[in-house]
Amino acid sequence: KATVTTSPNIETQKGPLAYAPNVPALQSGDTVEVKFDVDHKLFEVKKGISFTGWLFGDSLPGPILRVKVGQTVKFSMTDRSNDSSMKGMNMAMNMQPMPHSIDFHAAMVNPEDKYRSISPGETIHFTWTANYPGVFMYHCGTPMVLLHMISGMVGMVIVEPGGGFPGKVDREFAIVQNEYYLKQQGDRYAPDTSIALKKQPNFMAFNGKVGQYIIKPIHVKAGERIRLYFLNVGPNNISSFHVIGTIFDKVWLDGNPANQFVGMQAVLVGPAQGAIMEFVLPEKGRYTFVDHSFANAEMGAAGVFVAD
């Protein structure tokens, strides 16, 4: 059973966590203790476009958690949306404290219990065990769920098979693709569910920030085998993920090695689906990666690998 506590909770983050595109290392042991929190904070999507993000782990996407099949996650999360640092800010900017929750797609639990909403200042504690390998979404499940998702409450869990993912790779990266539905409010923006209900985003991003890997590409070496942990958090549209100049040697749909495709030019990943792609950049150069649903690439779902 989940428990909810109200005593001050000072620790804000622990566990096998990292921020994308980095991937955390596994922790040993049958149980891993994991904590991250929720806060409300101005988030810059791209230069000149900011909105009040509702964030897991102070980040969009939230921190990546990595565990392996059989490990039990002893999880806790504090809703810090009433954080004093926010007190002076404009309440029209969606900074108001509010309930939040977390739903792990990697878990098999009673959502009514574990995924329930907590109030600002409260901390929820529950445990779950990873049963299936893959790349899974987590997100806030507090109604209106669509609003909590487009406000940034999304993230990735990587679950390794008990014996690790098969095969050796040289490099690992994580990419979370998300859609923005923003409406201007003065010199800021705000997530707008009426736009989201039409499924027509105005910005798209890899790891939350439009164009960040065009400005600062991800560097690898030509010939290295790269494993990409990919998650489409939507909330609405498919991604047809593609790396210009190469072909995915192996693809594991939802990140499970049993769901293998080979030799793919593009991987169709639905909203709330994951995939692991392995590939090589064959020679030195710049390799742009895109959502080949190309309007999405033009709206920001584009980045660059540089092979040195």
Q: Which is nearer to Zn ion, 35 or 250 (CB)?
A: 35
Q: How far is the CB of 275 from Cu ion (least distance, A)?
A: 17
Query: Of residues 39, 79, 254, 291, which one binds Na ion by CB under 5 A?
Result: 39
With CB atoms as reference, the residue minimizing the distance to Zn ion is 125
* # binding residues, Na ion (CB under 5 A): 4
**Residues in the site for Zn ion, rule: CB under 5 A?**
76, 100, 125, 140, 142, 148, 219, 308
39 binds, among Na ion, a copy of itself, Cu ion, none (CB under 5 to 8 A by kind): Na ion
Displacement of CA 116 from its chain's centroid (Å): 20
CA separation for the pair 94, 97 (Å, rounded): 9
Of 195 and 272, the one with the shorter C-beta distance to Na ion is 272
Note whether 209 and 294 are within 8 A (CB).
Answer: no
- List binders of Na ion among 228-247 (CB under 5 A): 244
- Between residue 105 and residue 124, which ones bind Na ion under the rule CB under 5 A? 105
Task: Decide: is 227 part of the binding site for Na ion (CB under 5 A).
Answer: no
Question: Binding partner of residue 112 among Zn ion, Na ion, a copy of itself, none, CB under 5 to 8 Å per kind?
Answer: a copy of itself
Query: To the nearest whole angstrom, how small is the minimum distance from the Cβ of residue 308 to Na ion?
Result: 19
Select 142 or 237, whichever has its Cβ closest to Cu ion.
142
Side-chain-side CA neighbours of 149 within 13 Å: the count stands at 23
In the complex, the residues that contact Na ion under the rule CB under 5 A are 39, 58, 105, 244
